[in-house]
Chain A
Amino acid sequence: MGKQKPELPQGTLDMLVLKALSLGQMHGYGVGQRIGQLAEDMLKVEEGTLYPALYRIEQRGWIKSEWGVSENNRRARYYKLTRAGRKQLGVEEAKWSHLSMAVGKVLRTV
């Protein structure tokens, strides 16, 4: 992998957002932080791209949002996983492990 952090493959960001929100409701900044922590800073995510992803996922009905008050007493938009979102996370996780396993097998072929 070298020193460079790899960019996320197209579409995986949505899955990571769902995962981050499965730990409890959060605002956009917090979602970014969580993903960063969970990946132990091995991933490079342009933080701004989180927002279109959040809006898109909300439209699919997998998360819901509402204004709330942050830890430092500011108005912030909080996102929360819906039941459909929890299910979707399961589906995506299964697909992802299948995919990474398959790709791994191919690449390990001598």
Chain B
Amino acid sequence: MVAPVDGRGQGAADGLKEKSMGWLEKLRMRLRALRHGEEVHGEIAEEWQFHIDLRTEENIRRGMTPEEARQSAEQHFGNAGYIKDVSWDVRGGGIMETLWQDVRCGARQLRRSPGFTFVALLSLGLGIGGNAVIFSLISTILLRPLPISHPEQVFAIHQGKEKDASYSQSMSYPNYKDIRDRNAVLYGMAGVSIRPHELEPQRE
């Protein structure tokens, strides 16, 4: 079996679990390229300038004129524009940079057509808002049980009519007290929203 020797990719990695740069470190590097792109470009440029200068000196030592020496050094370096692109693929912002460019492009487009932006935002807002309201209603009413341990054992007691199931009325405090004191079914009973009422003698 002959495995292709390929330092660029998978071929080089199998056989040995590559311990690559941690993802956090990589993320930090990409973010730095995103936020301080000039700085990273500067570092790369400085590194390459160092290279060209050294090669130039070497060429001069070999007897070239300074001008020839620099030209030859640049020629030996290769296509700097292309190499810069390839380098930026590794050192640059990566996906995040592309994403950020897309976001900015999108924002520019929207700014250029405010009418469309307004309508789009409005319909989005209404759609999301309406859904949120409906969902939160359904959620509280239907989906979410009471926040207690045995919600199925909790009942609301109203005063009603035997013949009219829809009839429901609050009851007087003495009635409540009677029911509470004679209760043999439930663990306990409590009144809610108790309101005092004043009674006035009817004048004739």
Give the interface of A toward B (CB within 8 A): 9-15, 27-29, 32, 46-49, 51-53, 55-62, 70, 72, 74-77, 84, 87-88, 91-92, 95-96, 98-99, 102-103
Interface pairs A-B: 10 shortest CB-CB = A14-B7, A46-B78, A48-B78, A11-B6, A48-B77, A11-B7, A48-B83, A52-B86, A55-B90, A84-B19
Given A48-B79, A55-B87, A58-B21, check contact A74 B50 (CB 8 Å).
Answer: yes
Report Cα–Cα, A53/B12, bound state, in Å.
14
B90 and A52 within 8 A (CB): yes
The answer to whether A75 touches B90, judged by C-beta atoms less than 8 angstroms apart, is: no
Known: A11-B12, A92-B12. A51 touches B6 (CB 8 A): no
Q: Could you list 14 examples of A-B contacts with CB < 8 Å?
A: A11-B5, A13-B7, A27-B50, A48-B78, A48-B79, A48-B80, A51-B83, A53-B7, A56-B8, A59-B90, A61-B21, A77-B47, A88-B16, A95-B15
- Complex CA distance for A98 and B26, rounded to whole angstroms: 33
Mark B residues whose CB is within 8 Å of A. Answer: 2-9, 11-12, 15-16, 18-21, 26, 43-44, 46-48, 50-51, 53-55, 76-80, 83, 86-87, 89-91
A-B Cβ contacts below 8 A, count: 114
Say whether, besides A47-B77, A48-B83, A88-B12, A29 and B50 are in contact (CB < 8 Å): yes
B44 to chain A, nearest CB (A): 7
- Chain B residues, CB < 8 A from A74: 50, 53
CA A79 to CA B79, docked complex, whole Å: 23
A61 to B2, CA, bound (A): 26
Contact A56 B90 (CB under 8 A): yes
Bound-state CA distance A102–B2 (Å) is: 7
CA of A62 to CA of B13, assembled, Å: 11
Query: Which single member of B11, B18, B20, B46 contacts A11 (CB below 8 Å)?
Result: B11
A51 to B47, alpha carbons, bound, how many Å?
A: 9
Cβ–Cβ < 8 Å partners of B87 in chain A: 51-52, 55
Contacts of A99 in B (CB 8 A): 2-5
Which of A46, A47, A49, A55 is B91 in contact with, Cβ under 8 Å? Answer: A55
Q: Is the CB of A76 within 8 A of B5?
A: no
Please tell me if the beta carbons of A59 and B77 are within 8 angstroms of each other in the complex. no
Q: Please measure, in the bound complex, the distance between the C-alpha atom of A50 and the C-alpha atom of B3, giving whole angstroms.
A: 24
Q: In the complex, A91 Cα to B21 Cα: how many Å?
A: 19
